[in-house]
Structure 1
Amino acid sequence: MGRLVQPEEIAYAYLFLASDEASMVTGTNLQVDGGASL
């Protein structure tokens, strides 16, 4: 994406993982890096 990840974008990932919507997510590595690791 050509920019650094902002702190609130990392927080969004944490909030998702703590939510009921992520109740079936187990054992995952969630990379919040804008695709830089591809």
Structure 2
Amino acid sequence: LELTVHFDAQGESFTNVYLQGDARAVYEGRILPDAWQ
């Protein structure tokens, strides 16, 4: 299974977050600095 997370980043703010793939339930999401720097 593959899950891709798309988002727009501006500074330390993230908007337009959406999931693409086989995601049935997401409890919590965190974007850590090493994922977007």
Give the structure-2-normalised TM-score.
Answer: 0.27
Bigger strand fraction? 2
Give the structure-1-normalised TM-score.
Answer: 0.27
> Which structure has the larger Rg?
1
